[in-house]
């Protein structure tokens, strides 16, 4: 792992850091000098990612966190602050995206999606913001989806959560700006994450790629680059913004 300079000495919490875009983001933050906290419910997979980062020279710790538990969220923030004395970056990457038609979505499924994809982001951001307000600085990046801007059949609850995430982020950005805390959104398109590859055959992936503007799926690292950019000083003038990383597949107004 090459030594970066964008985040030397800074502390970054990455939710969902055990796989996909979260894994790629955690690795890239570490590569750029950040001390990384991987927060994930899959502790075993998170530790494998952490081992890879540490072997390459990065500083990383793992926190097993159930995002549906408010007490887990508070504990994550307190342990991070106690360990490092600061929290500079929060990347809310973790999400679930079970598919079900609107008419077949149960209250239980709805609650689960909203709890993980929206409520957890709200309250983890709130807990982290308390620390950032004390520091009078910070950067928060929330990961939404193209489903926030266009209809995706079978994903009505997920779309509601991600659409809410975008609207919520803009308001939070407005309220936290006076404390020099920036809050932005990255909205990825079709990404060939480990989860997607586990659910789809290569033939299905190839067939779907034919219908995409760029003719291919995105890699998690491409969205991670946007997340890291928004957390960096290079994006110091950006707050409440939405960066779409989708290969041109959709272009919301």
- Domains identified in the chain and CATH numbers: 11-244 (3.40.50.720)
84 against 97, higher pLDDT:
84
The pLDDT score that the predictor gives to residue 208 is: 63
Q: How far apart are CA 117 and CA 68, in angstroms?
A: 9
Picking from 78, 68, 57, 70, the residue whose alpha carbon sits closest to that of residue 8 is 57
Q: Which residues are catalytic?
A: 158
Token representation of residue 151:
């209809």
Contact (CB, 8 A) for 162 and 119 = no
DSSP state of 155: B
- Answer whether residue 86 shows pLDDT above 80: yes
The reported pLDDT for the residue numbered 113 is 97
Least confident window among 98-102, 107-111, 114-118, 174-178: 98-102
Q: What span, in angstroms and rounded, lies between the C-alpha atoms of 15 and 9?
A: 19
Q: What's the whole-number average pLDDT of the chain?
A: 91
With cut-offs at 50, 70 and 90, classify the pLDDT of residue 250. confident
CA 172, CA 167: separation in Å to the nearest integer?
9
Residue 1 scores a pLDDT above 60? no
| Per-residue pLDDT at 149 exceeds 60 | yes
DSSP classification of residue 212: S
Q: Are 74 and 127 in contact (CB under 8 A)?
A: yes
CA-CA-CA-CA dihedral for 166, 96, 220, 37, to nearest 10: 90
Q: Which of 47, 77, 14, 67 is nearest to 227 (CA)?
A: 14
User: How far is CA 245 from its chain centroid?
Assistant: 13
Q: What are phi and psi of 90, to 5 degrees?
A: -125, 125
pLDDT for the residue 247: 75
Based on C-alpha coordinates, what's the Rg of the chain? 17
The percentage of the chain sitting over the pLDDT mark of 70, rounded to a whole number, equals 87
Q: What phi and psi values does residue 62 have, to the nearest 5 degrees?
A: -115, 135
Q: Is the pLDDT of residue 29 over 60?
A: yes
Q: Over 90: is that where the pLDDT of 89 sits? A: yes
Closest C-alpha to 249, from 144, 154, 150: 150
Q: Mind listing the pLDDT tens digit for each residue in 203-223?
A: 766 666 666 667 666 789 999
Put simply, whether the predicted model's pTM sits higher than 0.75 gets the answer yes
Return d(Cα 62, Cα 79) in angstroms, integer.
Answer: 11
């Amino acid at each position: 792992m090459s030594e970066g300079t964008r985040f030397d000495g800074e502390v970054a919490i990455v939710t969902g850091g055990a796989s996909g875009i979260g894994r790629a983001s955690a690795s890239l933050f570490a590569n750029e000098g950040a001390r990384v906290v991987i927060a994930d419910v899959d502790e075993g997979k998170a530790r494998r990612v952490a081992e890879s980062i540490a072997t390459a020279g990065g500083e990383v710790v793992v926190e097993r966190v159930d995002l549906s538990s408010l007490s887990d969220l508070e504990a994550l923030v307190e342990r991070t602050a106690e360990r490092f004395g600061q929290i500079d970056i929060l990347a809310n990457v973790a999400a679930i995206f079970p598919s079900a038609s609107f008419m077949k979505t149960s209250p239980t499924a709805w609650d689960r999606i909203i709890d993980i994809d929206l409520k957890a982001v709200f309250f983890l951001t709130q807990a982290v913001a308390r620390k950032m307000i004390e520091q009078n600085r910070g950067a928060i990046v929330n990961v939404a989806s193209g489903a926030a801007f266009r209809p995706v059949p079978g994903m009505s609850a997920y779309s509601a959560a991600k659409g809410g995430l975008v609207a919520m982020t803009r308001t939070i950005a407005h309220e936290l700006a006076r404390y020099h805390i920036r809050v932005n959104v990255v909205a990825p398109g079709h990404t060939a994450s480990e989860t997607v590859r586990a659910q789809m055959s290569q033939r299905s992936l190839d067939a779907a790629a034919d219908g995409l503007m760029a003719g291919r799926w995105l890699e998690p690292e491409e969205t991670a680059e946007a997340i890291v950019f928004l957390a960096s000083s290079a994006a110091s003038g950006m707050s409440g913004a939405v960066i779409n990383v989708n290969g041109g597949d959709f272009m919301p107004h």
